[in-house]
Amino acid sequence: MYTSNGRAAPDRYVKLQLGFPDAGGVMTDFESFRAQTDAQGLFTFPKVPPGRHKLERLLRRVSGDTTSWTHQPRMEVEVTPGETKTVTIADTGSTVRATLRWPEGFVRDGSWRVGAMVSTPFPQPAPEVLSNPDALAKWRSSPEIQAAMAASRHYQFGENADGSWRVEDVPAGEYVVNFSAVKTGQTGIPSKDSLVAGVPLKIPADSTTATIDVGELVLRRLEQR
């Protein structure tokens, strides 16, 4: 069963990853062991082989003519031979909503790919490090940055039919809301024409607000260096 804040969560996509690929497990293809929850939040995976597996939530995102999926780990599950395993994925957290305003006179078409994410803040390298490949590699491999990468969390927005954006089940913490729009050419290769918008976000530990609206974010052109 899949619940969100104590209520059944219908129409959620769930994927079962067999074993642990980085430890000799089997990497399943995208269509295998994928399910969608029903109106009661129930889902079933028949004929699961015994072993330790991972349950992931799949988030579907449509941008223009492109559809992509984000995998968000939810829990580990161990199945023994002949067992019928019953589990509950219990998401808790707030729903974050945002609206996006494009530059005045701008017409959005299918050539623009929009990415939107709620992420934990991440350290940024100094300008002199950013322009030095060796220094940047050393910065990325430092224990502090490796620890920050391991602790980072990302929650991807989806676009609603009314043009607003929404992401569910974001736990308490401090985040940054980031939007980016990149124009692609006829070959599908991103151009240098980019738009960005962002705002800080804090969800208190004692938050009782089911939905947090960060308001309207105005896209601006990204300065190219």
Separation of alpha carbons 189 and 191, rounded Å: 6
Separation of alpha carbons 93 and 210, rounded Å: 8
Asked whether residue 198 carries a pLDDT value surpassing 50, the answer given is yes
Comparing 135-144, 185-194, 196-205, the range with the smallest average pLDDT is 185-194
Average pLDDT over residues 5-11: 86
At 146 the pLDDT is 87
Average pLDDT over residues 52-63: 79
Instruction: Domain ranges for the chain, please list them.
Output: 2-91, 94-221
Average pLDDT over residues 125-145: 90
Average pLDDT over residues 162-184: 89
Q: Which CATH architecture has domain 2-91?
A: Sandwich (2.60)
At 23 the pLDDT is 41
Mention every residue, 6+ apart, whose C-beta is less than 8 A from residue 60.
13, 67, 68, 69, 158
Q: Where are the beta strands (DSSP E) in 43-172?
A: 51-63, 66-79, 89-91, 94-101, 112-119, 154-156, 158-159, 165-170
**pLDDT digits over 82-116, tens only?**
999 999 988 878 889 999 999 888 888 877 888 89
Averaged pLDDT score across all residues of the chain: 83
CATH code reported for the domain at 94-221: 2.60.40
| Per-residue confidence band for 197, with pLDDT thresholds at 50, 70 and 90 | very high
Angle formed by the axes of helices 143-151 and 133-140, nearest 10°: 60
Average pLDDT over residues 61-78: 74
What's this model's pTM, rounded to 2 decimal places?
0.65
Asked whether residue 29 carries a pLDDT value surpassing 70, the answer given is no
At 208 the pLDDT is 58
| Per-residue confidence band for 43, with pLDDT thresholds at 50, 70 and 90 | very high
Asked whether residue 225 carries a pLDDT value surpassing 80, the answer given is no
Asked whether residue 30 carries a pLDDT value surpassing 60, the answer given is no
Percentage of the chain exceeding pLDDT 90? 31
Write out the two tokens for 43: 């889902």
One fold for 2-91 and 94-221 = yes
Q: Which amino acid is at 113?
A: R
